[in-house]
Amino acid sequence: MWSDLARVLSLWHSRRWWLLAGAGVSVLAMLAGLALLGLAGQGAAAALAGGATLALLWLRPLILLRPALRWAERMLTHAATFRALADTRVWFFRRLAERLPTGLGLNRAGDLLGRMVTDVEALDGLYLRALVPAAAALAAVLAVAVVLAGAPLLALMLGLPLLLALLLPLLLAPAAARAGTALAEAQGSLRAAVVDPLTGLEDTLAANAEGRALAAVDQAGANLVRTQHALHWRTALAGAGGGLLAQGALLGALAWGLAGGEVALAIAALFLALAAAEPLGAMPRAGAALAAAAASARRLFQAADQDPPVPNPRGLPMQPEGFALSLKGVEFRWSPDRPPVLQGLDLDLPEGSRIAILGQSGAGKSSLVALLLKLAQAQAGSITLGGTDLATLPGEDVRHRITCLTQHARLFDDSIAANLRIAAPLAPDAALWRALDRAGIAELVHALPDGLETQCGEAGARLSGGQARRIALARVLLSAAPILILDEPTAGLDAATERAFLSTLEHSTEGRTVILITHRLTGVEKPQRVLRLAGGRLLTAAG
């Protein structure tokens, strides 16, 4: 638990001055409140004694100062939290991108979404509801001890219960952390139970499986309620304990005064105990927030600490000379417990070559694409690009030279221009229009009322299959990569649209090395060589 929380704080190191400033202002606001009630108690004691005190003169500026400090505390602590959480989301996304380069795979989309959103947001409790209140509460206990240092017994009777109230969340945190972990897992299960059938809603309805999906949601919801009850019960127990300790501090001050202590000091101590009760009253919630943050941190790190399939090379890479591709004796399997996909695969591809690779589903075509894009790593053999071993090149460098129109190329719920600029963020509109023209869809986009700003819809839902495919092709053509992989580029298209699309490819990819990966040829393609992937090897195809 503690190591996970310490790691979260290390992720926030670049925001440390924001975090420290927010906590510092929170301490000042608490001290201002403590001084306000302390001076009010001193004034009340003086009034009972029939005397006068200068303490009341300080009340007016403190009355004005404390709300200003509270406002500054809210602004600074929330600004610090927003920045820290934004950094955490970027870090987590980057880690996932490195570890899931070929997609979610066996991971549940709903669960990962929960980790990215809910678990990251739960980390705000570490700072806003745990560290900041703890700093204020600690300062309150120390301030009370310093003010009452002249009466050691009174300081002990007042300070000991307050100190125990401060430490109570730490004592209960391990058990609360276990309950928080169960709660985080239950939230992830519920989110997965909702998101997964909705993602494939058409198939769910077609199979009349909505009843089973609802039952799964109901079961996950009931489990979430049970785990919430367990955590809230612990939080309520901690809150009751903290309240008793705060009352104990008040009783200690009262008992000291009744036992013959100085009345004025006893009254001041009562007011100080009341003031300290505010920050210490937040400590039970701080314990629950600490537990929830620890559980969420554990879930984030579990997903983020998977070994990346392709480790980054060390040292400065040797730059390729040209873009000829060569594969020698490549062997690959996705995991040790799965059968090999490629075995002793060889391929020499000079610059500017155009080849077609045929193969049935499961033959290893997509695995070959993953290896060429350095999204996976071969267990044996070598792959060189321009005479340089791919293993020595960063993945980003490889994908600057090799780009791919994937089998399920996705258009995102954004404008056509934004979808195109994924390949070239700084490309001007003129470059976008050239790419669209080469993909054979510029005329249609020109005719749209919003042109390049036309919204594509989620997964290109506002466009036909052929239109979405051509925009995806334009995105690939916008890249300057000299090697172009077309992985089942006509998947999901009807015969007429397929032939028109392949005809476009012939002239739009001139001057590049083209690797066409498909399960069959239509006759429109004009590759220099046709190879067949079978048994993990590339063989010359007949005809």
Residue with tokens 């293993």: 391
Q: What is the pLDDT of residue 430?
A: 92
Q: How far apart are CA 275 and CA 158, in angstroms?
A: 12
Angle at CA 69, nearest 5°, toward 66 and 73?
140
210-258 and 152-199 are packed helices; what angle lies between their axes, rounded to 10 degrees? 170
* Three state DSSP letters for 350-369: CCCCEEEEECCCCCCHHHHH
Domain at 325-540: CATH code: 3.40.50.300
Rounded to whole angstroms, how far apart are CA atoms 117 and 296? 10
- pLDDT value at residue 80: 92
Do 493 and 504 contact (CB within 8 A), yes or no?
Answer: no
Tens-level pLDDT at each residue, the chain (543 residues): 778 888 888 989 999 999 999 999 999 988 888 777 777 766 666 666 555 455 555 666 777 788 888 899 899 999 999 999 889 888 888 887 777 655 544 455 556 666 777 778 878 888 888 888 888 888 888 888 888 877 788 778 877 888 887 777 777 767 776 777 777 778 777 877 777 777 667 677 777 777 888 888 888 888 888 888 877 777 777 777 777 777 777 787 777 777 766 767 777 777 777 777 777 777 777 777 777 788 788 878 877 777 777 777 776 667 788 888 899 988 988 878 888 888 888 889 888 888 888 888 778 888 888 888 888 888 898 899 888 888 888 888 888 888 888 877 788 888 999 999 988 888 899 999 988 888 888 888 999 888 899 888 877 888 887 888 888 888 888 888 889 888 887 776 677 777 777 777 777 777 788 888 888 777 667 788 888 888 888 888 755
pLDDT > 90 in the chain, percent: 7
C-alpha torsion sign, points 391, 392, 394, 398: negative
Residue with tokens 């995991």: 335
Q: At what angle do helices 16-48 and 59-99 cross, to 10 degrees?
A: 150
The owner of tokens 């190879």 is: 531
Instruction: Name residues whose C-beta falls within 8 Å of residue 18's C-beta, 6 or more positions apart in sequence.
Output: 76, 79, 80, 83, 84
Q: How many residues are present in the chain?
A: 543
For tokens 């013959």, what's the residue? 260
State which amino acid sits at residue 182: A
For the chain, domain boundaries: 2-304, 325-540
Domain 2-304: top CATH class: mainly alpha
Using one digit for the tens of pLDDT, what is the confidence trace for 384-396? 988 888 888 888 8
Whole-number Å distance between alpha carbons of 230 and 258: 42
Residue of 405, 391, 247 whose CA lies nearest to 318: 391
Give tens-digit pLDDT for 417-429: 999 998 888 889 9
Q: What is the DSSP string of 32-81?
A: HHHHHHHHHHHHHHHHHTT---GGGGGHHHHHHHHHHHHHHHHHHHHHHH
User: Shortest CA distance to 50 belongs to which of 198, 327, 297, 264?
Assistant: 264
CB neighbourhood size of 520 (10 A): 8
What is the C-alpha to C-alpha distance for residues 258 and 265, in angstroms, rounded to an integer?
Answer: 12
H or E element: which one contains 331? strand 325-332
Q: Could you give the CA distance from residue 135 to residue 153 in angstroms, rounded to a whole number?
A: 25
d(CA 263, CA 246): 21
d(CA 364, CA 533): 7
